[in-house]
Structure 1
Amino acid sequence: MTRTNAPGPVPVTVVIPTLNEEDRLPACLTSIHWAAEVIVADASSSDRTREIARRFGAVVLEGCGPTIADQKNAAIARASHRWVLSVDADERASEELAAEVAAVVNGTGAIPEADAYRIQMRNRYLGAPYELGGWSRDWHIRLYRASARWTSQRVHERLEVQGPVADLTARLEHESYRDLAHQLQKGHRYSVWGAQDLMSSGRRVRTSDVVFRPAWRFVKTYLMEGMWREGMRGFVFAAVHAWCGFAKYALLWDEQRKRHAAMAAVPMNEPGLDSPFPTTH
């Protein structure tokens, strides 16, 4: 296992949610070897993810879920340190990031004091850096006090922070998709989760959601954000991004259609059947 000259051990708990990440987890764990504690919150992987995590010395929590936020929150509750760094299995922490995290948690250096810190992603797509578009300006809160918790929606979970948020300079290396097939598979899963979140909130689908939202996604990503300059790779990214938006609202429409049909088949004088669109599950 390759080691860098990053400071360590840094008194921080690194939290990693996993599901079948045996191929990508070793590089992630190697990159955060300087952390005093690593907790892998696993959602019932069927591969060697948990075995690999234990081999690297991580604490493993099994059967966490059902959402990624639930996995993170379960790990935070077990954290031994006052500061938590969230990292995904498809991300790598640099030596520069290790030094900045150490400065925050040890109260040294010139980094502004805050309750949470945003970190910029250095994203890669299909084997090359993603230098254009919104994904090249991708910031997320990843370093925070252990008192914080993540909201429980299935897609784009959000950290609830009470105090000020500041930015770090170092970036996280991120390659979200193994290949195009993996992107399509992951996009479908997130579309299903997004539709479920919208259904839970009582959102009703409109024609514009299915027709114009995906079209706007493509135009914004491919033309306005300049992905056309990436050639075929840029076109594929914009097209899949638009398809995911279409799939989310089409799935929501289909679920509402099925519920409406089921309601129509039942006498309306039965209790609890006055609306096909419940606001909660």
Structure 2
Amino acid sequence: MTPITGVVITLNEEKQIADCIRSLFRVCDEVIVVDSLSQDDTVRIAEAEGARVIEQAYLGDGPQKAFGVPYASHDWILALDADERLDDDAVTCIQSLGLTDPSTAYAFRRKNYVGHHWIRAAGFYPDSVARLYNRTQAGYEPKKGHAAVKAPKVEPTGTHLHHFTYHDLKHWIERINQLSSRDAWAMKDRGVPASNWAPALHALTATLRKLILKGGIFQGSDGMTVAMTTAFRAYMKYAKLNELYENERVNRQA
């Protein structure tokens, strides 16, 4: 089997990181953890599980995920988030891949969970993400917001990752608060302007997309929950973007 390096970024992931590293070691020869200066036991646990830890203040999603890649011993990189695990079918698939074409990245279908409940509604499944790639021809785009792997070719494997997205609905809302702050910061960095209309407009667009285009209106409470939380995140990231500009203006005048 072609050697693979696993890479994962963390911030206060003491409850998740051990299982993530163990999952990566099912197919990887080494695991690199890029930690954003965690205040809990993430680093200690990661090292105890056999990972190499590199500490780096958070640079944004894409840059942070790319930061550990030059430290890898191998060109083939398997990137997981701390709350992701390889399903058995993905392990079998990866072990059977020849990995002879560095221009091809491989995508997996994520099973997104809230607690123990697998959410299939409104586009939550199949949620295809490229995770296995060769660093000589592919890598994460340099976006500070949510970033994806860019490669000349992406081949779907049809196999799965378990994505333990949220512990429960309370955690879902807490994560929206965190992620919308990250999104607002990234948008401001890109020069996206403030707009009083943007929060409501994007929330409405997100609602229609999830309920109508993704069929959430026909998918019961899961479909409605996905639509409402997606709309809430869209609203809050643009509202927070406006707040960033307002705070900047006030600070200049002070």
Q: Does 1:31 align with 2:31?
A: no
Which consecutive segments of 4 or more residues in structure 1 shift more than 6 A? none
Distance in 1 between residues matched to 2:9 and 2:179, nearest whole Å: 16
Spell out, residue by residue over 1:119-138, the C-alpha distance to the aligned partner (whole angstroms, 9 max, x if none).
22111234311112112131
Q: Secondary structure at the match of 2:81?
A: coil
Residue in 2 that maps onto 1:20: 12
2:79 to 83, 86, 93: 86
1:206 alignment partner in structure 2: 195
Query: In the TM superposition, what whole-angstrom CA distance separates every residue of 1:187-225 from its partner, at most 9, and x where no partner exists?
Result: 122212222222222222334422222022123323543
Which residue, 144, 152, 171 being the options, matches 2:160?
A: 171
CA gap 1:149/1:262 in 2 versus in 1, 3 angstroms: same
CA contact (8 A) 1:120 1:139 kept: yes
Alignment match of 1:150 (pick from 140, 158, 166)? 140
User: What secondary structure does 1:157 align onto?
Assistant: coil
Q: 164, 174, 180: which is aligned to 2:169?
A: 180
Determine if the alignment matches structure 1 residue 45 to structure 2 residue 38.
Answer: yes
Where does 1:69-80 land on structure 2 (aligned, <5 Å)? 69-80=62-73
Unaligned runs of 5+ residues in structure 2 are: none
Q: Distance in 2 between matches of 1:65 and 1:262?
A: 24
- On the 8 A contact 1:10/1:36 being kept in 2, the answer is no
Question: How many equivalent pairs are there?
Answer: 252
Q: Shift of the alpha carbon at 1:39?
A: 0.8
Q: What TM-score does the superposition give when structure 1 sets the normalisation length? A: 0.80
Deviates more, 1:233-242 or 1:42-51: 233-242
Q: Which moved more, 1:193-202 or 1:82-91?
A: 193-202
1:126-275 matches, cutoff 5 A: 126-147=115-136, 148-161=138-151, 163-260=152-249, 265=253
Conserved? CA contact 1:20–1:47, under 8 Å: yes
| C-alpha distance in 2 between matches for 1:105 and 1:65 | 34
Letter in 2 for 1:211: A
**Higher mean Cα deviation, 241-250 or 174-183?**
174-183
SS across alignment from 1:11: coil
- Cα gap change, 1:228/1:150 in structure 2, threshold over 3 Å: closer, same or farther? same
CA contact (8 A) 1:84 1:146 kept: yes
SS of residue matched to 1:154: coil
Q: Is the 8 A contact 2:60 2:186 kept in 1?
A: no
Written as runs of structure 1 = structure 2, the 5 A alignment for 1:56-75 is 56-75=49-68
Q: In angstroms, what is the RMSD of aligned CA positions?
A: 2.4
**Sequence identity of aligned pairs in percent?**
26
SS of match in other structure, 2:124: helix
- Note the residue ranges of structure 1 that are not aligned, 5 or more in a row: 1-8, 267-281
Name the SS for the 1:136 alignment partner.
Answer: coil
